[in-house]
Amino acid sequence: MQIGLNSDYWWINLYIDKKGWIEQYNLIEKIKDLYFESEFYQLLDSIAEEGYEFYIYPYPYEDSLIFTDGRDFVKTMREFKNSKKSCSISIEKTHKPNDINNNHSILNYLKGEFAKLLPLYNFISWHPKKNHYLIGL
């Protein structure tokens, strides 16, 4: 989970870099199970209602792909995996520079936003006990 800032806007996201391919592939394998797929879509729908969007950043660098629908996001992630194309993925909310004005407000806001992302983080994160990709570990 990250906070980012540039001259135009700032953002909060759950980001998996292209080098995090184990997490990405584990997620794709995990949601082949209809139970987990349904759970993941519910998590995506819930976070989308909070203003988050879904990004795929292809590598080598091309234009980023932005989704508001979790099913389209997952479909495209699967296409990247099946074609063995690298990408980073992000579940992200952007803000104008002055959306939250004081330090106390922003700290509470960020804690709340990270709490919203935590169920997705727990669902996506790879661990030997949550292994759907690297069978035999």
10 Å CB burial of residue 117 (0-12, 13-18, 19+) is buried
Tens of pLDDT along the chain (137 residues) come to 888 888 888 889 989 988 888 888 888 989 999 999 999 999 999 999 999 999 999 998 888 999 999 999 999 999 998 998 899 999 999 988 777 665 668 888 888 999 999 999 888 887 777 776 665 44
pTM of the model: 0.81
Tokens of 60: 């080598």
Q: Tell me which residue has tokens 């800032």.
A: 5
Q: Establish whether the linkage from the previous residue to 128 is cis, with ω within 30° of 0.
A: no
Domain boundaries in the chain? Answer: 2-130
